[in-house]
Amino acid sequence: MIALLLVALGGGVGAAARFVLDGEIRARTTGGFPWGTFTVNVLGSLVIGVVAGVILAAGAGAQALDPWRLALATGLCGGFTTFSTATVETVRLAQSGRVRLAIANALGTLVVTVGAVAASLALTTAVL
């Protein structure tokens, strides 16, 4: 029951943070590229890389960090990032004839988010 509460709490905070940040970015950008969704997905990927790095560095003591993993990785990052919205935005860009933006969004999201996880995971494990 505690695990469910940690995930729900983290997820609620993450979703609210995404709503605010995405709205602020959308209000400040033009050109049709979904910068808000792209940004939250990159930031969430950076955070989950750090969380994974901390857990990996903990080694045998990683089980003690499980509540933090649930709250931060599964909850916060799960609520903050949004793969489904990124895919809908990509399809809508393509349907509206902005195929280059759709391709840039699909490939850019994949490459940059994976790169963000790899970089933050490597940096965290190097520091710890």
Q: What is the pLDDT of residues 22-71, one digit of tens each?
A: 999 999 999 999 999 999 999 999 999 999 999 999 998 999 999 999 99
The answer to whether 38 touches 102, Cβ cutoff 8 Å, is no
Which two structure tokens, joined as six digits, stand for 10? Answer: 């983290």
What CA–CA distance (Å, rounded) separates 125 from 54?
7
Entry pTM: 0.95
* 99: number of Cβ within 10 Å: 11
Which residues contribute to the annotated binding site for Na(+)? 78, 81
What average pLDDT is seen over the chain?
98
What CA–CA distance (Å, rounded) separates 36 from 111?
17
- In which domain, by residue range, is 52 found? 2-127
Q: pLDDT tier at 98 (50, 70, 90 boundaries)?
A: very high
Q: pLDDT tier at 105 (50, 70, 90 boundaries)?
A: very high
What CA–CA distance (Å, rounded) separates 79 from 47?
12
Q: Residue 27: what pLDDT?
A: 98
Which two structure tokens, joined as six digits, stand for 90? Answer: 């990509």
Q: For the chain, what is the domain count?
A: 1
Which residues contribute to the annotated binding site? 78, 81
Nearest to 58 by CA among 76, 46, 4, 50: 50
